[in-house]
Structure formats: C-alpha cells, structure tokens
Amino acid sequence: MQCADKDHHVFGVFSRGIKKIPFLSNMVCARLVNLNAFSKGAALTAVAGWGLRPTTLRARQYALKKNLPFVALEDGFLRSFATGATHPPLSVVVDEKGIYYDATHPSSLEALLNSKGDFDCDGGIIQHAREFIRQYQLSKYNHATPVDLAKYRLSSVGHKILLVDQTFGDMSVQYGAADASTFEYMLRAARLEHPNALIYVKTHPEVSAGSKRGYLTEVQDDERTVVIREAVNPLSLIERMDHVYVVTSTMGFEALLMGKPVTVFGMPWYAGWGVTNDHQVCARRTRQRTVDELFYAAYFCYARYLNPITRQQGDVFDAIQWLRKQKEMSERYAGRMICVGFRRWKAANIKPMLSLFSNKVAFVKNAQAAALLKPSGEDCLVHWGRDAPTGLADLCALNGVRLLRMEDGFVRSVGLGSDLIRPQSLVLDASGIYFDPTQESDLEKILNDTVFSLELTSRAKQVRAFIVEKGITKYNTELRGSPLWDARGAKVILVPGQVEDDASIRYGCEHVKTNLALLQAARDENPDAFIVYKPHPDVMASNRKGKVNIDAARQLADHIETEWSVVSCIEAADDVYTMTSLTGFDALLRGKRIVVFGRPFYAGWGLTEDKAQIPRRRRTLNVDELVAGALLEYPFYWDWDLKGYTSCEAVLQRIVEQRDGMMGEKLKVHKIGYFQRQVRKAKILSQAWINRGSN
C-alpha cells in the first residue's frame, strides 16, 4: 500500500523520540516536523504526541493554542520482536479522538466499532490473519519463549484458569475503570467461580526483575495456585487454559482470538461489545460485535503498519511475516553465538546480525578463551571461512555444540568487504562452506535435497528478474552502461579476474588456478573470439592479490575492462569463462553460456559447461531452483534500519536505493584512491577499537 497523500498531512511533534522512530511518517501517512515554543504551526494539519503520557501535555496545550487537532500515537498490537528502541515498531495506532486504552473518553477505535452497519471486510482474509497469529503465536512483543509445560504443571489434567496481572500504575488500568482493588476482586471471583480449578497467575516480567510492582505480587504458589513470574509467550500460555480472567490486559483479546472464554473486570477496548463476560458497563458502547469484527477494526483499520520491503505503508500481513522471521531466526540460533578469531572491525560490523539479544553474542580471541565461556546446549561456536581456529572443532565435539562457518552472502552490500563496508547478508554453514567442494556444505544439501515449492520458485523468478533489471551484483560499486567494444562481429567472451589466493580457487581448482591461465584457456578454445578481461574489484582496489601482468594479459585478451561494471560486461558478452567467480552465477541469471574450470557452488547442476569433475551433485536444476537455494534458503539478510532479519527482496531494494543514491560524485566514495580508502578504513578500525567493550 502506497501512502498517496502523505504530503497533505503534516504532524508537528515536540518529542525527539517520536522523530527517531524509523519510517514513522510512512506508517502514519504524514510528514513529521519538529516543534518548539517559537514554532508558528501555520503549515501543520495536526499536533502529535505519544498516547496519554505526561510528556504530551506540552503538545496538547500547543494544539489547543493553535486551534489544531491533537493526534495520539501508540504502539500497535503487533509491535515488534522485543521492547525498546533497539526493536523499532512495525505497527502504530493513530487516534484523532482519544486512545484505545482510555475508557473515560471516546477513541477512534470505539467510534469505528460503534458505527452503523457491518464492516466491509473479507472474512477469508480475517481468518488467514487470525490463523497466522495463532500458528506463530504472535503478540505485541515476541521475544519470550513458549511456556515450560512440565515446570508449571500444564500437562496435568483438570480445569485451568489464567489470571493476568499488570504493572502497578499501568495507564490502561488507570484509564480502564480499575485499580488495585479490582485485581483483588478478580482473584477472589476466580477462586469462587472455579473451586476445583488450578489457578494460574501471570505476573509481568518487569515485576519479576524487580524494576516494577504488580497488583498480584503477593500471591504465592500453593496446591491450587501457580504463579508464572518469568517471561513466556502469551499465546503459548493461553493455549493451555480453559478460561482467562483479565482487568484491562490485551492478553484478554488474544485469548478471544484463541477461542477462549474471557471474563473482564476493567474496561479495555474489547469489552462491552458482547463477546466477553463483563463486570462493568460502558454506556457509550452500544453495538454487539463479533470477535472477527473486533479483530478487523483494531488490527486492520485502526493500526497502521510498515512494509519492510518497500518501506511504505503496509498491512497486518507485513507485520506478521516480519515477526515470523524474527522468531524463526531467534529459535534457529537460540543459544549464545561465541565468535572466535574475528578482527575487531569485522566483529563490530556483524555483531548485531548474529542475535536479536545483544547479550548472547561474544567475541573471543581463540578456542581457549571460548572454552572459558563453557559453551553448551544450543550455543554455537562461529568462525570465519573454511578453516577453524586451532582446537575449536575439538571444543565443539567435547561440549556437543554446533560449529558454524561464516561467510558473506552472494548479495552483500554497496561497497567492498575489504574496504570494511558492513554486510547486509551472511551465511552460517554447519556442514562446510559453499566455496569448498571438498566437503558437502549446507548449500549443497539444499540444492541436492530440497523439493522446491511453486511458491518458492515463483519468488526466485521474481528475485532473478529484479536482479537482472536493476543490475545488482555482490558489491554494486561500478558504473553501469554499454561498453563500446569493437568486436567486429566476433564472439565476445568475458573472462572475470579473481583474487588468486581466494579459498574458492585453492580448494575448487586443479589445473587452471590463475587469471593468466584462465585467459590462456579461453584463448586456446576460442582463437578468433574477442576476449574481454575484467579484473576483480578487490584487486583493482589493491586490497587483495591477483593482479596479472598487463602486458601478458594484453597478448591474450583483446580488451582489459576497468571502467564498466561486471554486469555491463556480462550483458555485452556471449560467453563467460571462469574458474569459480561469482560472475558465473551473475551470468547464469542473465541466460549466458558459462564455461567453468573450477567447482563453484553453481556448477554441476546441468546449467554450466563444466571442465572439472564435481562429486555429490546428484540432480539437474533449473535457474530458478538454483536461485531459490542460493539466495532465498541459504543466506540470511539483515535490515540495519529496522534492526532485524529481513528478506532477500528487501535487501535488494535497499541496495538499489543506496547505490542509486550514491551515483555520480557520491559513488566515488567507494572508488577513491588507495590512500583515501586507507584513511577511511583507519577511521572504521579506530571506532571498532573504541567500541571494543561492547564486543
């Protein structure tokens, strides 16, 4: 969904925190401008503040003085993976009348639910969203693990009643017609109404941590009572209950979504519509609504969402898929990520990408230091590249933990890794690593064994089309255009240079191992062709080894291309000759003939003309299946603005935006001379050293 009239709405805000929320203006469909006591407010359409916080008093007074509407913003019902600024919201609500948790005044949500007639909504869409929320157990925050069934006697037979405590002074309690006595009454009522049931009291995690008080803090475990003080996934707990009692907690509505009977003692937004057993009445709420209607009004109409791929206004399904991705990754690597032997600059660049919990990532010098951290269970020991630091494999075997090899993904960044540009994708391989054909890698397993669904190959086809259309490669630093080669009708062969000490050549090549040897092989097979040699960008940047003797290269190549991008060269060529270069993969995406002298990950599947024997690759793939495995299934992708795991499609969008925004003069930042690059790298290294304590 595109926010078409964003420029027609201008919200003035006093809060710096509001302005810092990434892409908030796109979610609320309004331009946000800073206000101060001297602002005239002439161009504003409204003044915005955060809910009913005391900090909004200034904004409300300013709106009244300037005769402008006040708009209350709040987190949405599917906000983020965890709390705080390190997990920006994917959902907010915008209320021009009040705010949903304030029962003392009307809100836009209440007005919507009170409106005449039925909602014009697709019941199938509602059921899909509800099922996704139930299946993935999604809530406002989603970092807590499922409840431990054995620890809390949840596997036992018998009736189970859940009482939801809240933090003392919670505004939804204060403005929800409740106080401390309401919670005491709820506890008495539950015990009286269910004399033979097991009563579960869910306290707020901040209460257990000692940072806040709860209303039911004094309740203790006994034969009939189980107190759950740790953070657990709300829906995993509700799932095991027969009845849920709340004052104003949103867990009451989540229980309704799970099909549970709910008794309410305060006046939350979902009470008073005929779907809850209410102990209070709100005279303003005059309609009868179903759970589906409440869900549609609150989650589809009232809340606003961000589409993480386009960065424009999205819908509830965008938030669902984002949260699903965060949970999936946090479950895949649930333990600590203990990284061994990483340089400081690399550690600084990748630390946020390795876990959504910063305290679960540690960097140590060697295996001995890793052993002191006593890895166990779901912990992982991580190293860069193929070869593990001395003793690391033995440490993994001794402690029964996973050993993961890390490398950059195939679509990495705008800028070179050797220039210390941070990546947007990584691979973590538990079997081998994609560039080493001497042992099976996770990628090879995916390509050998996965039954690629129509949905996945359709995604891959769209990804491939986008990459080809936008000219995307791994580093995206070179200028695109049409090389003016005078081939005089001859077949054009592109020979991409490589870093000659690269591991993919050391482990994947036997006879042809150097750029000059590759040029010679291409010329031997094609004496009349027009051969273009394209040096590797790392080599051109003087960061890595592999610079061929120019005079020798000119005797074999008709042209040495140093200006135009490798994509431009691929598009202008008929064939590509390579050892193991990723350029061969780029050329496959563009339908070129590829002759391969090594054993790269994309060879051996019936798509390339292979000069070497490649063991273990047991089937023929089409290009979209190769793309699905290599770009969609094998790497993971990171959004540096939203601070979370994202999709290949989103990173491709970011790369195009970053690259196109740096064209012309700005792109020269990545093409500056050797001395200037060393100065910039020195700044990055010094910053990594300053921040070493956080690593």
Residue 210 pLDDT more than 80? no
Nearest-angstrom CA–CA distance, 586 and 478: 15
Residues forming a β-bridge with 246: 264
Q: Does 349 have pLDDT greater than 70?
A: yes
From the list 647, 618, 628, the residue with the least C-alpha distance to 452 is 628
Helix (H) or strand (E) holding 427: strand 425-429
Q: Which of 38-52, 61-75, 200-214, 383-397 has the lowest mean pLDDT?
A: 200-214
Polymer length in residues for the chain: 695
**Cα–Cα distance measured from residue 329 to residue 196, given in angstroms and rounded to the nearest whole number:** 41
Rounded to whole angstroms, the Cα distance separating 14 from 48 reads 8
Alpha helices in 115-264 (DSSP H): 123-136, 171-174, 180-193, 205-208, 234-238, 251-257
Instruction: Categorize the per-residue pLDDT at 686 as very low, low, confident or very high, splitting at 50, 70 and 90.
Output: low
Please state the domain extents for the chain. 10-114, 123-306, 477-639
- Give the chain's mean pLDDT: 92
| pLDDT tens column, 515-539 | 999 999 999 999 999 999 998 766 5
Q: Strands 313-314 and 361-364, how do they pair? A: unpaired
3-state DSSP call for residue 96?
A: coil
Cα(364)–Cα(655) distance, rounded to whole angstroms? Answer: 31
Helices (H), 11-91: 16-20, 24-28, 57-65
Render pLDDT for 638-650 as a digit per residue (tens, 0 to 9). 999 999 999 999 9
- The Cα–Cα gap between 244 and 277 comes to 10
**CATH, domain 123-306, list 3.40.50, 3.90.1200, 2.60.120, 3.10.590:** 3.40.50
pLDDT band of 622, cuts 50, 70, 90: very high
Alpha helices in 98-156, H assignment, sequence order: 108-114, 123-136
Task: Check whether 52 has a pLDDT greater than 70.
Answer: yes
Residue 544 has pLDDT above 50, yes or no: no
**557: nearest Cα among 579, 524, 574, 532:** 532
Rounded distance, CA 9 to CA 6, Å?
6
Cα separation, 692 vs 694, in Å, equals 5
Q: How far apart are the first and last CA of the chain?
A: 39
The residues pairing with 382 across neighbouring beta strands, listed in sequence order, are 339, 404
pLDDT for residue 659 is more than 80: yes
Mean pLDDT for 617-639 is 98
Pick the closest to residue 198 from 233, 229, 152, 238 (CA basis).
152
Q: Which two tokens stand for residue 204?
A: 């707020």
User: CA–CA separation, 520 vs 667, rounded Å?
Assistant: 34
Residue 326 pLDDT level (bands cut at 50, 70, 90): very high
Tens of pLDDT, residue by residue over 212-225, are 899 999 999 999 99
Residue 196, pLDDT above cutoff 60: yes
pLDDT computed for residue 669 by the predictor: 45
Q: What is the CATH number of domain 477-639?
A: 3.40.50
Distances in Å between the alpha carbon of 410 and those of 70, 72, 294? 48, 43, 44
Each residue's pLDDT tens digit, 660-681: 887 654 444 445 455 555 565 5
CA-to-CA distance for 351 and 363, rounded, in angstroms?
A: 9
Cα separation, 182 vs 509, whole angstroms: 74
304: number of CA atoms within 13 Å, CB side? 20
Q: Where is pLDDT greater, at 484 or 366?
A: 366
- Within 10 angstroms of residue 131's Cβ, the number of other Cβ atoms is 11
Ranges 326-335, 393-402, 501-510: which has the least confidence? 501-510
Distance CA 341, CA 693 (A): 16
Using CA atoms, how far apart are residues 210 and 127, in angstroms rounded to an integer? 39
- Residue 585 near residue 504 (C-beta atoms within 8 A): no
State the Cα–Cα distance between residues 306 and 92, nearest whole angstrom. 9
pLDDT tens for residues 253-270? 999 999 999 999 999 999
Where does the pLDDT of residue 543 fall: very low under 50, low under 70, confident under 90, or very high at 90 and above? Answer: very low
- State which amino acid sits at residue 689: W
- pLDDT digits over 587-615, tens only? 999 999 999 999 999 999 999 999 999 99
Averaged pLDDT, 484-504? 93
Name the E strands within 241-400: 243-246, 262-264, 277-278, 303-306, 313-314, 337-340, 361-364, 380-384
Question: pLDDT digit string (tens) for 8-48?
Answer: 899 999 999 999 999 999 999 999 999 987 777 779 999 99
Q: What is the rounded average pLDDT of the residues 44-71?
A: 95
| Higher-scoring residue by pLDDT: 688, 166 | 166
What phi and psi values does residue 321 have, to the nearest 5 degrees? Answer: -65, -35
Judge contact between 659 and 451, C-beta under 8 A.
no
- Helix boundaries (H) for 561-673: 566-572, 582-589, 623-627, 648-661
Enumerate residues 6+ apart whose C-beta is below 8 A from 651.
411, 424, 425, 637, 638, 639
The answer, as to whether pTM is greater than 0.85, is: yes
What is the edge-to-edge ordering of all strands in the sheet holding 31-34?
Answer: 31-34, 10-13, 46-50, 70-75, 91-95, 303-306, 313-314
Q: Comparing 123-306 with 477-639, is the CATH topology the same? A: yes
Q: What is the pLDDT of residues 453-467, one digit of tens each?
A: 999 999 999 999 999
Q: Which of 672, 464, 582 is nearest to 594 (CA)?
A: 582
Give the pLDDT score at 501: 87
Distance in angstroms (rounded) separating the CA atoms of residues 351 and 362: 8
**Whole-angstrom Cα distance, residue 549 to residue 535?**
11
Per-residue burial over 543-557, b if 16 or more Cβ lie within 10 Å, else e, is bbebbbeeeebeebb
| pLDDT above 80: residue 97 | yes
Residue 500, pLDDT score: 86
